[in-house]
Amino acid sequence: MAVTTLDPNTALIIVDPQKDIVGSSFIRPIDGVVSRSRALLDAFRERGLPVVLVLVNVAGVATGAGVESTSRQAYGHGFNVTLALDAMTDARPEAHDYSIKNVFPKLGEMGTARDIIDLLAMRSV
């Protein structure tokens, strides 16, 4: 499902923004994930929208763990979930792929960080 809209009351949740993960091995280069996450953070803050940083005791960005569990909880609490697929990664290709192909389509809309930023910009006009 492609990103088509954002709720009027929307917030950005960034999972595991920790310096310790930068040197770890991931299926997608972490510097790109960090820069796209930063672009989302800047876009939300420029519009006065809430930003939540979820810190986990174990270091790591994990599509198949932290991102998936946070998305499941948000969905379970009745929130509409939008996932920036290019702003996440995992050390385990099979976990990353499984979440994107099998779990996230059931929880909400998916797109790129740019797709979400563009939707935010359209709301500001």
Distance CA 14, CA 110 (A): 15
Say which residue, 68 or 56, is predicted with more confidence.
68
Strand duo 12-15 + 108-111: pairing? unpaired
Distance CA 20, CA 85 (A): 22
Its pTM stands at 0.81
List the alpha helices (DSSP H) in 12-77. 30-46, 68-76
Mapping DSSP onto H, E and C, the string for 62-95 reads: CHHHHHHHHHHHHHHCCCCEEEEHHHCCCCCHHH
The predicted-structure confidence for 77-108, as pLDDT tens digits, reads as follows 888 888 999 988 888 899 999 999 999 999 98
